[in-house]
Structure 1
């Protein structure tokens, strides 16, 4: 079977030589699993290798055959399953299995797989794991029916992430009526809002919403003039340090009655201009060293 005769040989010696041969055999099998010229049949054999490192190497290969990935999606080692969850060659059937995996890092890895289709995203939307629902809420081209379900998600965090990233005008309009301030704060960071929606957000009763708005999107002159007199020091300070506030507005803030705001306006220096007002969607990666930190600080 292809290169299998060169991988993991059967001759063993007694004594200290046995350990040396085991290590050599393991290195050879790992090298074969990583070698782009290794045959498909050999990869199938290596998918049942006793070494998790070898199985993970097979699971990570974009050219791994389905016969290799299928058992690896059920592997007892969670990092092997996570590698399958990230592999764009993984079948939809295996992704549907992995989205229900007991390990959260495996579930979250599915969200970043380009092979996900609507059926996989639907399974994510229906999952009890709110971080998983949050990850799918950040999908740029999320199907309208799935987005509509997330508009009413029980978790404000999920709705906030949908509000921040959605491109769907109907979803934005629906979330404008959300009673939770953090959800409207997500909308304030969304550059797909209309001028009318931004004007409404400029009048939002929650300070964090108005502060996020002036940092994230361009506003009409009337809104800027109203916000430069905002009752909240936090909002005026956000304007003084915002990259997108026009110079004449910042100049007006140099005369702000709060010295911290006035000083920030006078001392402002534009950054490189590479910072994005809205962060890219979060794709969870397991911390090196087996840490337990969660993606985005979300709950399990």
Structure 2
């Protein structure tokens, strides 16, 4: 019955009076679906929040509740949601800043626009988790102050904050100008030196796998460096020294930075880690000479990443298409190709190159039509979803290439109802085509009935408004709970049946 009610709760045709009845019986699962209804009235939102506390949080985030509807004492999480949205009251923040529940103070610390006195209270919180959360999101001035915090976990959070001043980020990396950190999460709890067992059997232990401290807080310092390297505000000159660091993870983060100097790119191109080379290959900062070296890399993931680089030279990309399995996806360099380059790619002797171009959905009509008539099935599969193709062109694709293109043709937004019926009855049947037809806005009752024989398509077709109402009713008794929920959400479900299903 839960799946039926959740389906009904999502049904756009459910009358308001039946929504009221669902609210009266809602548990947390059902309330989450009801709360998402676009037509939920303010009175219904208030009633739902009063019944299910979890729903109040969702409703607050969706702005279906206002400050007048929430009591921060009895509904602190909903109050935090409005504060997180910038719509709460300052006095709520002051109240929650001293809440005895640490998780509430921690969530408050992540909220924007907090009053200065609340920020000061949170910065002095006795629980380091609260201060670290504040450090992640706070203003530049407070971030600079917290960079001197005695706890290494707070400093690590400051390193991740993109508003932290660059000079402070550089100090965090080098340690120069800052007093040494006195504590970390490891030495807070364990006698040092200590290395946390990655397979720790203690059920109440939340230390990170491999967390370690010998008095220098080394695992937290490593995490700080990772975060600083990810932070775009960290100055280039502060990070280039990690190019030959023993930590592969740090070199990996460095390789993805868009501000890498050419000499650092040159060095990282020979890194022993394929992951480092792959991130470098995808990095727009990588120069053409290095890209040409990486195009011959022994690792296919490196070459595949290079194909995703928006600045890869077109001749390198066409080379990669012939030696690397890229798949049918719109590559950034293809998406940015000039009109002259598009014409060049369209006439490439390599069908993989033509396939990659066919993924664009803004091609000139003459190029689109030429690719639609391409002799290679993979090119036609990529172009088959392009809007503007005529029914004759789509049918010709199926006639020439059969099962290889049926599913892609079925996914075309302009596929006619008659064509969809024929594709749903194609011999031999194409299982993925059933799923495409089942979700197509132009699907007819006849084509949807054919889709019900496929397990995955059945779940989609059950919710299609063109499915005959009696069939929808019958699917409410299906063995598959996903089919049942989809049928209950179908706007074609008769109103009388809806009423009978709601307690």
The TM-score by the shorter chain falls in which range? Answer: 0.5 to 0.7
The structure-2 alpha-carbon separation of the partners of 1:40 and 1:82, relative to structure 1 and needing over 3 Å to count, comes to same
Q: Call closer, same or farther: CA 1:42–1:30 in 2, change over 3 Å.
A: farther
> What corresponds to 1:176 in structure 2?
372
Q: Is the contact made by 1:34 and 1:58 (CA closer than 8 Å) also made in structure 2?
A: no
8 Å CA contact 2:358, 2:382 repeated in 1: yes
The aligned counterpart of 1:153 is 350
In the alignment, structure 1 residue 198 sits paired with structure 2 residue 394: yes
Instruction: Name the TM-score, length of structure 1 as normaliser.
Output: 0.61
Do the aligned partners of 2:372 and 2:383 also contact (CA within 8 Å) in 1?
yes
* 1:63 pairs with 2:256: no
Question: Which residue matches 2:280?
Answer: 84
Deviations 1:130-167 (A, max 9, x none): 424866778334432442254x3155xx6545444464
Counterpart of 1:122 (choices 311, 315, 335) is 315
In the alignment, does 2:419 pair up with 1:234? no
> Using the alignment, how far apart are the partners of 1:42 and 1:133 within structure 2?
38
Greater shift, 195-204 or 105-114, is seen at: 195-204
What is the aligned counterpart of 1:47 among 243, 253, 256? 243
For the Cα contact (< 8 Å) 1:44–1:67, is it kept in 2?
A: no
Match of 1:268 among 440, 461, 468: 461
Q: Which residue of 1 aligns with 2:45?
A: none
- Distance (whole Å) between structure 2 residues aligned to residue 214 and residue 132 of structure 1: 24
Counterpart of 1:140? 335
Instruction: Compute the displacement of 1:88 (Å).
Output: 3.1
Gaps of 5+ in 1: 8-15, 273-300
CA distance in structure 2 between the aligned counterparts of 1:72 and 1:99, rounded to whole angstroms = 14
Q: 1:106 aligns with which of 276, 293, 302?
A: 302
SS in 2 for 1:47: helix
Q: Deviations over 1:158-204 (max 9, x none)?
A: 65454444643344333333334444333333335345523533654
- State how far apart, in whole Å, the 2-side matches of 1:88 and 1:97 are: 15
User: 1:136 and 1:29 mapped to 2: Cα distance?
Assistant: 37
Query: How far 1:207 sits from its partner (Å)?
Result: 4.0
Report if the CA contact (8 A) 1:124-1:132 is conserved. Answer: no
Alignment of 1:72 onto 2:268: yes
Match of 2:325 among 131, 153, 157: 131
| Contact persistence 1:188–1:217 (CA under 8 A) | no
CA contact (8 A) 2:389 2:414 kept: no
Inter-CA distance 187–269: structure 2 relative to 1 (3 Å threshold): same
Q: Post-superposition shift, 1:210?
A: 4.0
CA RMSD in angstroms comes to 4.5
Paired residues, what number? 250
1:179 is paired with a residue whose SS is coil
C-alpha deviation, 1:109, in angstroms = 1.0
Report the 3-state secondary structure (helix = DSSP H, G, I; strand = E; otherwise coil) of the residue aligned with 1:102: coil
TM-score, length of structure 2 as denominator length: 0.40
Question: Once the 2 structures are TM-superposed, how far is the Cα of residue 260 of structure 1 from its aligned partner?
Answer: 4.8
Residue 125 (structure 1) shift: 0.1
Question: CA contact under 8 A between 2:294 and 2:303: conserved in structure 1?
Answer: yes
In 2, are the aligned partners of 1:240 and 1:253 still within 8 Å (CA)? no
Contact 1:190/1:216 (8 A) holds in 2: yes
